Structure 1
Amino acid sequence: MTPEEETARRRTALRALLTKPLLTVENDADRLALVRQHIAELRDWLTRETGWRLLADAETARLFKTVPDGDDATRPARGRAGEPFGRHRYVVLCLALAVLERADAQTTLGRLAEGVLNSAAEPELDFAFTLDSRAERADLVAVVRMLLEWGVLRRVAGDEDAYLSATGDVLYDVRRHVMATLLVTARGPSTIGATSFEERLAQLVAEPVADTESLRNQAIRRRLTRRLLEDPVVYYDDLDEAERAYLVSQRHAIVRRVEEATGLVAEIRAEGIAMVDPDDELTDVRMPEQRTDGHVTLLVAEHLSTRSAQDGVALEELRAFVRQAATKHASFWRKGVTDPGAEDGLLAVALEKLTALRLVEVREERVHGLPAIARYALDTPVIRGQ
């Protein structure tokens, strides 16, 4: 194998981990094998450039990624149909994991449901949860299917749809060694003395404070590299003074190392940096995208790119814009887009995508374009030749 081919395979392994930080032999056999072949180089690069830990064995590979911003709500867990997890479903997920931690090597969906019900009924939790309605059973099934995707559970017999319709049960193997890799914290939860949720969460992810200039620079470089890998756009205005100064002085070196390791390409503008994936793989939200929602999002982005970012655009004005677009493109879009109130749902999906891509911000009933949205502005077309 040539050095170029070896570099390409190592890059593919790193991209696999960035796309899916938990690989299992059942769901990702080829990618897991590739990661294990290059484990030493991958671990060295990740430790040096990001500070993320990487563990791998014959059955799993786990990259312990940390998010740049714990308050970022644009990347929720999603169900099979793409619906985002809400607070209720997240609580069910946490309770299910707590039940599975104490479960036998095998369990059923019915027993898991009973354990979640008992945990939800604890007086100090104050969480209303029953299985009387199909919607609440659907929350539990969505959680179980996510655990199956992660590899925490392995289906032995049965199907979740039967449980959802109250006509059957499902048997699972509980894979504790996979479950043990899920929690990503800077310190053990049992070592935290704070009592409020906000304080406990802050202490869980707080990193040690560097006490030398060399270690401080290392910490800054790691934070910047994480943001370049995880965030759609890194704006200079979002960085603190030390981070901004370091990125300005070391931009070429940091960007080059990320490009060489991942195959991403830097798009550098006066306002910040975006790492673009030519293969369109390392992203949660794609743009442009086909079909109705993708077209609406592109039209809204184009509209906002021509407006003042400081003043923004009122949501009501955008609703009117989407209504007009729906009438104009009704023959190409899905059915119902011209129904009364349909513009609300279309606009909500578009703004969710644009916010996740760091192209807009919604503040006080107005939408403000961020600098990167300028790439969607259209100039007056010029016809050359015949």
Structure 2
Amino acid sequence: MAETQASSAPGTPTQAAVPPDLRGGMFQVILATLASTAGFWAWMAISPLQNIYATQMGLSQGAVSLMLAMPVLVGALGRIVVGAMTDRFGGRKMFTFVLLAGVPAVLLVALAGAIGSFGLLVIAGFLLGVSGTIFAVGIPFSSAWFPPARRGFANGVFGMGMIGTAVSAFFTPRLANSIGYLNTHFLIAGVMVVMAVLVWFFMRDSPAWTVSRQKLVPKVTGALKLLITWEMSFLYAIVFGGFVAFSTYLPKYLMTIYPDEVDPIGAGTRTAMFAVAAVIARPIGGVLADRFGPKVISLLSLAGVVAAAYVVGQQPAEGVLTGIVFLLMAAAMGLGMGAVFAWIGPSTPPDKVGAVTGVVAAAGGLGGYFPPLVMGATYHAESNSYSLGLWLLVLVGALALVVAGMLRDARAPKPQK
């Protein structure tokens, strides 16, 4: 009895105190990043070919905006459910599920375009939104593979899966021209199936991850009761929402404002460059947030977004200046995305990270849902201008800058040596 009591005395090392073995975490996060890339490619499958749909189906500005916004809406709201389910079932199962669930949607998009049905295309876009929920799987999965002080880095690396938007913008129109419209969608679906197989056989959940048995509704409700959820949701709606909105609407914007200078392939190339700039900046934002604090990096990010949006709103002539400004805007958004999720980790109870991530990611997706609709509704045909919609971005970004300045900073504790 004495030995038992001594072994359980305070301060005595026990098996439960042994830290989990996180070796191999970088491989797992990279695999998750590749899975996210496939998911984002599918999620953005409609946008690069929007000009084909608009011409073939005779779509108005409003109809194009609705077509582009539909996958974003479902991808946003679905993240709440998928984030909470990841806490329950783990990243391996949820990555596999989301990838396979997106395959029928991609094939339905192909069918809708082949028969020229706008109604079916909207329904397909709705279902395609499932692929966009993949982000809510990867954040809690990646966070669990790294100690708190390096989670900004881990989430930044995983966030590079957004490169799928660049892959879609750059390759989808080119593939449609070279191998055909239907074969392009068959290829996207095939990539998702292959990625799902790789995930199932090679991915494993972190030893630090524990199953959450809490039911979905109480879990999401619990996340909504946390102030950090609402604070980060607002900021993420600006930085990630802006990224999604421009990733989907930029081809339409460029071909409308600069019809003589930009063709569909050129618009896709510029959109891909926009996405790449944000992807590169995202892990940098996470690393800088780990070092200097997420608040400072968020403020820099939002200031950059406001400044770039103001310049774009002046509609400068197509050329080097326009390209640089859009790249700077994308980089600012990427820094902010990395900073926001570095902010969540140290500020959120471990058992609620998935649920909070899902809500914040959903807010980011919703932030990308409304701007295309606003841009379509505020377009001034006589002056060929989207300036009103861009001014709204300036005002909202300025408000977010003030809000971020009022928030309390958060940093993960540094590991003791």
Q: Normalized against structure 2, the TM-score is what?
A: 0.24
Structure of higher RCO (CA pairs closer than 8 Å, 6+ residues apart): 2
More strand by share: 1
Larger Rg: 1
Q: Normalized against structure 1, the TM-score is what?
A: 0.25
